[in-house]
Structure 1
Amino acid sequence: MQVRNWLYGYGVCALLHLFAIAADLYWLRIITKPLLMILLLVWFLSATANIGTGKKHFITAAIFFSWLGDLFLMGSGELYFIAGLASFLTAHIFYILFFLWARGATTTSTPLNRVVILVLLAYVGVFYYYLSPHLNHILKIPVFVYALVIASMFAAAWHSFRQRGGVLIGAGLFIVSDSLLAVNSFVENFSMASLAVMITYILAQVLIVYGVTGWLETTKRYFSI
């Protein structure tokens, strides 16, 4: 099977999943959602097979924990939500580790941008202030920590992959997706919430992983992966 076919498979599975949400086909949703990260992971491993092992295992781990998060969030109840939150938090930490490694692996990294950092901190503060009254005491600290981590993920992407817009857009879409999920889960259900959350999530993951894969391919000759 050609490597790119796995990526096409991800796209087809994504479209089927979005169709299942729009048509309210629960049976199709529970089939397609777990397949998304599996297909993306197989494509990533296939596309980077000639690069070696090295720090690409951070991306492998990020996709794996995203898959776990998808599984947990398919359940209902607070425990499933917390497990999903912990899984995605771990995924973001692995993305951060890769971005920071990539920043140190080349000599073209962007200087720290205080404006970007301040904007992200302001977003975390304002959004958490908006969300906090709707959270019970168990979720307040985990949600705040998660917000800081995903903001840090975007900051790491900005300072490591600013020249690769796909990675940066993907990191931003991840914040949008998680913010929409939080509002829908804790504040107020809104029309087409599940569709909006999954569209932004599906695009976020593939843009990050695709962009990272391209970077690994173009830079492997300059340093040891």
Structure 2
Amino acid sequence: MIARRVVLGAFGLAVLLDLVSLAAGHDAGHTVAKPLLMPLLAAWAALSGAPRLLLAALLCGWGGDILLLSDAEPAFLAGMASFAAGHICYLVLFTRYGSKGYGSKRYGSRTYGGARARGRLLVPLYATALVATVLLLWPDLPADLRVPVAGYSLLLTAMAYTAAARLGLLAGLGGALFLLSDTLIATGVADWPQPPRPDLWIMLTYIAAQFLLAKGALGALRTRPAPAASHAEVPSTIP
């Protein structure tokens, strides 16, 4: 418990240093603080009993963070690929442990039905957001980035939808903030008008997104053990 609090406090200090540095236009502070964020969040998650897929997703985010410190296009594409790998980890994790997978007697049909109904309501919302974003950005993106950005947007939207549909409010808010953060990046690449200090808003929404996704996933794991953990579903290996 003490170790978790110490690591979470260190994460909070790194977040504060990063956001204050961006607000003040102090690039050196951002360069120092940004690489610390996801390893500290992953350490806190590990001490909280996180599965490997959650840790992998956070460390893929760390790889993307490091790569996006460079403005070079190859680094941007590599960073996008690293984040995409993280979204795949999240997708597998949410699909495996999300409430939609629970129709057993232990949890009853209410949880399953609620997740299914929530998913049906969210489909048109996320589908509309994806199509509108890609169509609006497409003409203004560099030609060689259009297809990668569209493919990444599809994966990101699928992750955000799955977080909301299967894990509920906390993780769903994290997924939505991830969408917002990456949309801000994409509009910058498309050379659209930006708010003051766009990097501050990008990092603020991104950090909140990763924290909420991690916390939402940990909460789901605490309240809903993996299906394989159910005695009724695990075949006995004892002769």
TM-score (norm 2): 0.85
- C-alpha deviations, 1:89-132, integer Å up to 9, x for none? 11111101100001365333311633411221111111111111
* Aligned counterpart, 2:203: 198
Question: Which residue number in structure 2 is paired with residue 126 of structure 1?
Answer: 132
The answer to whether the 8 A contact 2:97-2:224 is kept is no
> Match for 1:169 among 167, 173, 178?
173
| 152 and 222 in structure 1: CA distance in 2 versus 1, 3 angstrom threshold | closer
Deviation at residue 136 of structure 1 after TM alignment: 2.2
Which of 155, 159, 162 pairs up with 1:156? 162
Aligned to 2:73: 78
What letter matches 1:26 in structure 2?
D
Q: 1:2: how far off?
A: 2.0
**Relative to structure 2, which stretch is displaced further, 182-191 or 12-21?**
182-191
Tell me which residue corresponds to 1:95.
90
Bigger Rg over Cα: 2
Following TM superposition, by how much is the alpha carbon of 1:223 offset from its aligned partner in structure 2, in angstroms? 5.3
Contact 1:66 1:91 in 2 (8 A): yes
- Which stretches of structure 1, 4 residues or more, deviate above 4 A after TM superposition? none
Higher relative contact order (CA 8 A, sep 6+): 1
* 1:179 aligned onto 2:183: yes
Give the deviation of 1:173 after TM superposition: 0.5
2:45 equivalent in structure 1: 44
Q: Per-residue CA shift, 1:46-73, capped at 9, x if unaligned?
A: 1117xxxxxx211111011100000010
Match of 1:66 in 2: 61
How well do the aligned residues superpose, as a CA RMSD in angstroms?
1.9
How far, CA to CA, are the matches of 2:116 and 2:136 in structure 1?
32
Counterpart CA distance in 2 for 1:218 and 1:197 is: 32
Say whether the 8 Å CA contact 2:48–2:218 is kept in structure 1. Answer: yes
Give me the whole-angstrom Cα distance separating, in 2, the residues matched to 1:218 and 1:100: 15
Partner amino acid, structure 2, of 1:129: L
Instruction: Give the partner amino acid of 1:166.
Output: L
Q: Give the drift of 1:135.
A: 1.6
Partner of 1:7: 8
Number of residues of Structure 1 aligned to a counterpart in Structure 2 = 217
TM-score by length of 1: 0.90
Structure 2 alignment gaps of length 5 or more: 104-110, 231-239
CA–CA distance in structure 1, aligned partners of residues 177 and 206 of structure 2: 7
Identity of aligned residues (%): 30
Which residue does the alignment assign to 2:102? Answer: 106
Residue 135 (str. 1) matches residue 130 (str. 2): no
- Does the CA-based 8 Å contact 1:131-1:187 persist in structure 2? no
Match of 1:117 among 118, 123, 138: 123
Distance in 2, Cα, partners of 1:175 & 1:118: 16
Note if 1:23 corresponds to 2:27.
Answer: no
Structure 1 alignment gaps of length 5 or more = 50-55
Moved more, 74-83 or 103-112: 103-112
C-alpha contact 1:120 1:151 (8 A) present in aligned 2: yes
Name the CA distance, whole Å, in 2 between partners of 1:33 and 1:223: 37
